[in-house]
């Protein structure tokens, strides 16, 4: 997603309706009692305050419980959180006065930050927990280190096809074998799901990129007549499925968890899941560079990653975290060994270079 993006529209946006951060103001939500970024301490530990940007909502709540509070307890360093969007972050950096020291944001936005020269190149030698962590290469860039994964997956009603279950995007596209209205993610929610259209048309997972845009739209033509709604918010697929207005939809994983736990006849299908990731980085001009590295390193510890995943269904970037997760939690995460094999990482570089052209074509196609 764009900040999907965890911020702006994302699934982060979360399970149960995590909301986007406040874009109009630098609203600080303090974790702990520190109010000064350089306050003196009466105890043995530093009371310096570190300011972290994240997207808030239930995603931010999980950050506070699994990362910020334990970090403060261990180091004495207070954490304050600012919920602002990409444009405001960039403006602060370009003015030479960033009011935050660490950025928690999507890999897509970190690519944009890199182009704008707005983030520090990371010194990985300062991240001791990165060594031997086994973080996927796609999540290790010059200015960002992957923190966790989320995914777009298929969801469907379990009470409409006599026990038959769709097992692929080809099944989603097959309205004869699996009849009923569908829903698909629209442009206002995030990147159009061209990858799903290509998988439905037989393109292998490892041959998706660069995307064959013409082939993808030809495939989309085959499902268009059965698409009742192009959803624009993360909550809408659950509403449509719950009301039986559609029988299948793509969805940000985690969005249906509460409904499923309440007994709704809904299920996820992980085959062909499109993974994206959130990452951590440091803005140019950060006031507390050393402490920023401390927090990022802390967030990469397997026990911290596992604690976060137990609270919020975003998957660890550090494989060793799975050794600390209960099986039920591990089985429902995008980076589990099984799901890594059956899904794919969205190519953020390709989308950055081609997103505008695809968006224009998508708008034309949906209104044709």
Same domain, 165 and 215: yes
Residue 318's pLDDT is what?
97
Based on the fold, state whether residues 101 and 144 are members of the same structural domain. yes
pLDDT digits (tens, 9 = 90+) for 303-317: 999 999 999 989 999
Q: Would you say residue 269 lies in a domain?
A: yes
Mean pLDDT of the chain: 89
Q: What is the pLDDT of residue 19?
A: 32
Question: Could you give the 3-state DSSP secondary structure of residue 98?
Answer: coil
Q: Which helix (H) or strand (E) holds 246?
A: none
If asked whether residues 142 and 201 sit together in one domain, one would say: no
When divided into structural domains, the chain yields a total of 2
Instruction: With a cut of 60, say whether residue 5 has pLDDT above it.
Output: no
Q: Is 21 within a domain?
A: no
What is the residue whose two structure tokens read 């007549």? 225
DSSP H or E stretch at residue 248: strand 248-252
**Closest Cα to residue 278, out of 145, 187, 84, 119?**
145
Per residue, the 3-state secondary structure of 121-159, as one string, reads CCCHHHCCCCCCCCCCHHHECCCCEEEEEEEEEEEEECC
Q: Check pLDDT > 60 for residue 9.
A: no
% of the chain beyond a pLDDT of 70 = 87
pLDDT tens, 24-39?
333 333 333 233 344 3
Mean pLDDT to the nearest integer, 196-203: 98
- Helix-strand-coil split of the chain, %, nearest 5: 40, 20, 45
Same domain, 361 and 319: no
**102-106 and 49-53: which strand pairing?**
parallel
Same domain, 170 and 288: no
Which tens digits make up the pLDDT trace of 239-270?
Answer: 999 999 999 999 999 899 889 999 999 999 99
135: left (phi over 0), alpha (psi -120 to 50) or beta: beta
In a domain, 213, yes or no: yes
103 and 56 assigned to the same domain: yes
**Residue 11, domain member (yes or no):** no
The answer as to whether 8 is a domain residue is no
Identify the domain containing residue 236 by its residue range: 152-275+347-366
Same domain, 80 and 189: no
pLDDT (mean) for 94-102:
96
Residues 183 and 40 in one domain: no
What distance in Å separates the CA atoms of residue 129 and residue 261, rounded to the nearest whole number? 35
Pair 296, 229 in one domain: no
Whole-number pLDDT of residue 16:
37
Query: Does residue 23 belong to any structural domain of this protein?
Result: no
Same domain as 282, residue 250: no
The secondary structure element, H or E, covering residue 251 is: strand 248-252
Most distant CA pair in the chain, distance: 71
192 and 121 part of one domain: no
Cβ density class 25-34: b for 16+ within 10 Å, e for less: eeeeeebbeb
pLDDT for the residue numbered 239 = 96
Is 216 among the domain residues?
A: yes
CATH code, domain with 186: 3.40.190.10
Lowest mean pLDDT among 12-16, 119-123, 309-313, 324-328: 12-16
33 and 86 share one domain: yes
5 in any annotated domain:
no
- The structure's pTM equals 0.83
């Amino acid at each position: 997603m764009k900040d999907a993006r965890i911020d702006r529209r994302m699934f982060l946006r979360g399970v149960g309706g995590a909301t986007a951060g406040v874009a109009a103001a630098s609203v600080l939500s303090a974790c702990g009692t520190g109010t000064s970024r350089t306050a003196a301490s009466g105890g043995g530990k530093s009371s310096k305050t570190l300011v972290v940007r994240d997207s808030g909502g239930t995603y931010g709540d999980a950050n506070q419980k699994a990362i910020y509070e334990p970090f403060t307890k261990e180091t004495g360093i207070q954490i304050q959180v600012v919920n602002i969007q990409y444009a405001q972050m960039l403006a602060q950096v370009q003015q030479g006065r960033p009011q935050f020291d660490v950025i928690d944001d999507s890999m897509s936005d970190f690519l944009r930050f890199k182009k704008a020269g707005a983030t520090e190149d990371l010194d990985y030698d300062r991240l001791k927990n990165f060594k031997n962590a086994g973080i996927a290469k796609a999540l290790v860039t010059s200015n960002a280190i992957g923190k966790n994964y989320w995914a777009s997956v298929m969801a469907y009603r379990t009470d409409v096809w006599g026990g038959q279950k769709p097992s692929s995007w080809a099944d989603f596209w097959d309205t004869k074998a699996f009849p009923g209205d569908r829903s698909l993610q629209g442009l206002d929610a995030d990147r159009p799901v061209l990858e799903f259209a290509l998988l439905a048309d037989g393109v292998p997972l490892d041959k998706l990129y660069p995307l064959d845009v013409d082939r993808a739209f030809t495939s989309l033509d085959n499902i268009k007549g059965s698409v009742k709604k192009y959803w624009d918010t993360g909550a809408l697929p659950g509403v449509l499925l719950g009301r039986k207005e559609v029988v299948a939809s793509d969805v940000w994983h985690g969005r249906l968890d509460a409904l499923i736990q309440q007994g709704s006849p809904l299920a996820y299908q992980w085959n062909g899941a499109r993974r994206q990731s959130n990452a951590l980085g440091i803005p140019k001009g950060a006031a507390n560079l050393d402490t920023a590295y401390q927090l990022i390193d802390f967030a990469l510890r397997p026990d911290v990653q596992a604690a976060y995943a137990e609270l919020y269904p975003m998957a660890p970037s550090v494989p060793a975290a799975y050794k600390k997760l209960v099986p039920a939690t591990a089985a429902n995460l995008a980076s589990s060994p099984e799901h890594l094999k059956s899904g794919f990482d969205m190519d953020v570089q390709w989308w950055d270079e081609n997103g505008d052209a695809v968006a224009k074509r998508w708008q034309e196609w949906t209104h044709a």
